[in-house]
Structure 1
Amino acid sequence: MSGRPDRRAEEHAVVVDLGFGDAGKGVTVDLLCARRRFGAVVRANGGAQAAHNVVTPDGRHHTFAQFGSGTLAPSGPVPTHLSRFAVVDPFALAAEARHLASLGVPDPFALVTVDRRALISTPWHQAVNRARERARGADRHGSCGMGVGETMAYALTRPGDAPTVGDCAHPGRLRRKLLRLAEYLAEHAGRGEGSPDVEECLLTYRAFADRVRLVDERYLPALLDASPVVFEGAQGVLLDEWHGFHPHTTWSTTTTANPLTLLAEAGREGEARRIGVVRTYTTRHGAGPLVTEDPALGVALPERHNGTRPWQGAFRVGHLDLVAHRYALEATGGVDTLVVTHADAPDRMRAETGAAPRWCTGYTGADAAPLRITPGAVPDLDRQERVTTALVAARPVLGAMPDEPADAIGEALGVPVEAVFSGPTREDARTRTGVPAVSR
C-alpha cells in the first residue's frame, strides 16, 4: 500500500486533438475547468506555436499558446505547469501574459510553474527556422515559424549546449550557451533574420526566472498526488513527429504519449481519462495532404480566429475525414471519450451551399484501388514520407453525413461522445457522458 488516497481512473484528464490541430482543445480545457476545479493545466508538448482559442461567455477572447486554457475559468484562473516536454519561449510568454492581464487576469506569471529541464526556444532558433522555411520556396513544410523545431534539433545534436529553463537563473552559464548557439546556427544554417542581442536576451530570461516558479522533477508527481490535472495537448495527432505525414509535421510528440509517460513516472499509470477532440469537418493549416479538401467549404465556413498566416500558410477546409481520424485514434492508442466541436457547421453548409454535408469513409489511390493507411510499428520517417506521397494522390470516397453528426461521428469512430459544441464558448456546449462533477 502506498498510503495515498484511492482515486478514480478518470481523475486526471488528457486532451488530444485527433486531426491536424485547430479542433478545439482550448474550448475543451476551458469547459473541463468550468465543470471542476483542477490543480493545474499541464502542457506536455509543443511551445509558443500552439494557438488554442478560448472565447468566454462575456466575449473575452484569448489565443492560448503556453498558458493553459483554464486560465479564464469562471471560478478563477487554473494554474499552468510547463513540463519538461514543453519548449518554453520567455519572450512569447511575456506577450501572452500582457494580453491575459488586459483581460482581467491578475499577475499571470504567478500562475506558472516551469520544469527546469524544459528547453528554451530563443530568437536564434526562430530566425533560422524562418530562413530555412523561406529557402524551401514552393516546397515549404508548413512551419509556424516560432523556432520549436530548430530548438529540438539543436538539443538532439548538442544536448550539453542546449539552453534550458534552469539556465535562466544562471546568467553566466546561459551566456556561454547562447554564444555557442549563435555560432553553431550561423555556421550550419546561416544567420536567419537579424542578429539577436545576447545581453538583451539575458535580461529577459533573468526576468522570466524571477517572475515564474522554477521547479525540479519532484514537483509534478507531488501535484498529481495532491489534485487532478488536465494535460492540454498542442497541435494534432496527424502532425505528430513520427506518426504524421512527413515532412509536413512538427518536432513534437502530439499523441497522448507524453502525458501518459509523466503519469507513469509518478506512479499514476492508467489514472486519466483520454479525451479526443474532433470537428464535424476536417481542417489543416498550410502545406501537406488534406485528402477531403474542398475550397467551397472554406467559403461556406469562414473562421474568425483562423486564416492565412505568413509562416503556416492558408487555413484549409475539407469534408470530415473518418479515415484520417481513425488513423489518429490508432496512432495515439485510442481515447475514452470524444468532444465534437463545430456541431452547427453542417447546417451552415446546407444554408450556404444548398448541398447536404458529406463525410469521407474511404480513400482510393492513384490506381483507383482502395487505399488504407495505418501507423507504423516503429519510428520510420521514410515510411511516413511514402504515406504522404500516397495521400497526395489519393481521392476521398464521400457519402452523406447523417442528420445528427455528433452522435454519428462517435458511432463511426467507436467512442462515446462526452460533449458537443455548437458555438465558440463553454455555454455553447452540451455535455453527454463522463463529464466530471463540479468540485470546488
Structure 2
Amino acid sequence: MFGDRHVIVVDLGFGDAGKGATVDWLCSPPAGLDVAAVVRFNGGAQAAHNVVAAGRHHTFRQFGSGTFSGVPTLLSRHMLVEPIALAAEARALAALGVADPLSLLYVDERALLTTPIHGAANRCREDARGASRHGSCGLGIGETADYARTHDAPRVADCRNPDALRRKLIALEEHYRPLLAGGAHRHDPIDDLIDLYREFAHAVAILPGDQLAGFADAGRLVFEGAQGVLLDEWRGLHPHTTWSTVEPRNARAMLARIGAPAYVLGVTRAYGTRHGAGPFPTEDPALAIPEHHNGTGPYQGEFRIGHLDPILLRYAVDACGGIDGLAVDHLDALGEIRTATGYLTPDGYTDRLHCGAWRDLGHQQRLTDLLDTATPVLTSLPTDITTYLEAELGVPVVLTAHGPDRADRTIRVATTA
C-alpha cells in the first residue's frame, strides 16, 4: 500500500478522529509493515489516542500508539515532553502487560519540557478568560511553546544538568509569578521537580540531536501526529487552536533531511467531532452516537458531534499541502449522519474555504468568524461513503474501520499510484 515510503499519520479534523488506532494497526502484525519506530512530531501530554486491541485499552499520550506491538517510540525535537506524565503512562502500560515500557522510549535532547509550572499558569490563564476560554486542555502546552519563543526554556537535555535546570526553572517561576499569584493553582517545589527530572534522565534514552536516520535504517517509520489540522497553530481556526504544527510540515522536513520518501495518510471519522470551544458548522446535538472514550474536560469543554463536512475536510487537505491516502473511521455509526454540500453565510453560498498564506492569523480569524455564522446545507449521505469521500477529496480511501478494535480495521486498496 505504501511502497517503500515512511508513513505520516495526520488528523484532518479537530482531533479524536482515530490516529492512535490507525498507528496501532500500522504497527501490528496484520499490517506487515516492519515498523522500526513511531515518531511523535508534534504536541505533548494533551494528546489522547485511544487504542483497543486484543482485550486491552490504553489512551496513548506521549508513548507512540505502536507500543502494544513492541514498536519503540521516538519523541522528536518538536514534541513537548512532560516527564511526570510519562512516568504515569509507563506505569499504566506496564499494568497492561507491556514489559519495561521506558526501554521502548527515545527522546531528542532538544525537545522542550512541559513542567507543572506551565500547567498551573495555563489553568490560571484559562480561568481568567471566564466564558471566553479558548478550549485548552489545561496541561501547559501553550505556555510551554509561548515561553520558549522568547526565553531560554527548559529542555530535555537539562534533566542531566541540575544546575542549568535549576536556573531555568527559577526563571520560569519568576516569569509566571504575577499570573500564579492571582489564581488557585500551585506547583511542586523546584527542588522536587529537579529530583524527578534527574530520575527521568536516568530512566530513558536521551539522544544527542537528530538520530532519525538510524531508526530509518532499521525499517519503516510511522509518524504519529497529535490533535487535528483544524487546530493547527498557523492553519487552524484562530484563536481556538493548539500551540503546535499539526499539519505534516515538520514530519516531511525531518524525512527530507535524510532523503527518505513520505506517504501522508489523512484520518477522519465518518462524521464530525470537536472537543471544546470554537466553530463547528455541522454540529447537531440531536445526534445520538455513543462516545466511549471522550467526555467533558474541566478546561477543554464538552465533546461535540456533527454531520460529515467535506468542505472542512477539503480545507484540511489543502492545509496539509495534499495527502496521499485517507483512513475513514467509525463507519459503524452512520445511522443519522448527513453530509454538508456547502454553507450559507452572510456573504452568500460557498463550498470552498481558502487556506491563505501560512502564518496569516488574520485570515484564520476571518475564517473563524465566517464559520461562526455559517449554516450548513445538508443532504443525505450516499450509501457508499468511501467512494463519495474519494470523489470529494480526490484521494483514495486505503483504510477503513467499522469499530474501535484493531480487528475492526480493513485495507480497502492493495496498492496506490
> TM-score normalized by structure 2?
0.96
Residue 107 of structure 2 is matched in structure 1 by 114
Offset of residue 316 of structure 1: 0.4
Are the counterparts in 2 of residues 185 and 191 from structure 1 also a CA contact under 8 Å? Answer: no
CA distance in 1, matches of 2:193, 2:179: 22
Identical pairs, percent: 54
Aligned to 1:249: 241
CA contact (8 A) 2:315 2:352 kept: no
Q: 1:218 and 1:279 mapped to 2: Cα distance?
A: 34
Query: Which residue number corresponds to residue 299 of structure 2?
Result: 311
Query: What is the match of residue 13 of structure 1?
Result: 7
* Contact persistence 2:311–2:351 (CA under 8 A): no
SS of 2:413 mapped into structure 1: coil
Deviations 1:155-183 (A, max 9, x none): 0011xx20000000111110111011000
Q: Distance in 2 between matches of 1:397 and 1:264?
A: 41
Over 3 Å counting, the alpha-carbon distance change for 1:407 and 1:168 in structure 2 is: same
Gaps of 5+ in 1: 1-7, 350-356
User: Which of 10, 32, 35 is residue 38 of structure 1 equivalent to?
Assistant: 35
1:405 paired residue among 385, 391, 408: 385
State the partner residue of 2:142.
149
Between the two proteins, the alignment pairs up a number of residues equal to 411
Deviation at 1:410, TM superposition (A): 2.3
Q: TM-score, normalised by structure 1?
A: 0.91
- 1:427 Cα deviation from its structure 2 partner: 0.6
Choose from 82, 87, 96 the match for 1:89: 82
Q: State how far apart, in whole Å, the 2-side matches of 1:189 and 1:257 are.
A: 35
CA-CA distance at 1:411 after TM superposition: 2.5
Deviations along 1:4-40, one digit per CA (max 9) or x if unpaired, are xxxx864311000000000000110011011122111
Structure 1 letter corresponding to 2:142? G
> Aligned partners of 2:139 and 2:390: how far apart in 1?
35
Q: Please name the residue that 2:172 is paired with.
A: 181
Q: 1:280 to 1:23 in 2, by over 3 A?
A: same
Please give the alpha-carbon distance, in whole angstroms, between the structure 1 residues aligned to 2:347 and 2:225: 37
What's the CA shift for 1:435? 7.2
Quote the offset at 1:187 in angstroms. Answer: 3.7
| Residue 407 (structure 1) shift | 2.7
* Mapped contact 1:128–1:190 kept (Cα < 8 A): no
Amino acid at match of 2:245: T
Structure 2 counterpart of 1:296, from 282, 286, 294: 286
Q: How does 1:367-382 map to 2 (within 5 A)?
A: 367-370=347-350, 372-382=352-362
Gaps of 5+ in 2: none
SS for the counterpart of 1:105 is: coil
Find the aligned partners of 1:255 and 1:113 in 2 and give their Cα distance: 23
Closer, same or farther: CA 239–280 of 1 in aligned 2, 3 Å: same
Kindly report which structure 2 residues correspond to 1:21-420, keeping only aligned pairs within 5 A, or say none. 21-34=15-28, 35=31, 36-56=33-53, 58-73=54-69, 77-158=70-151, 161-187=152-178, 190=181, 192=183, 193-268=185-260, 271-297=261-287, 300-347=288-335, 349=336, 357-370=337-350, 372-420=352-400
Q: Is contact 2:108-2:210 (8 Å) kept?
A: no
SS of residue in 1 equivalent to 2:334? helix
Runs of 4+ in structure 1 off by over 2 angstroms are: 8-11, 187-192, 366-372
Corresponding letter in the other structure for 1:107: D
RMSD, matched Cα: 1.5
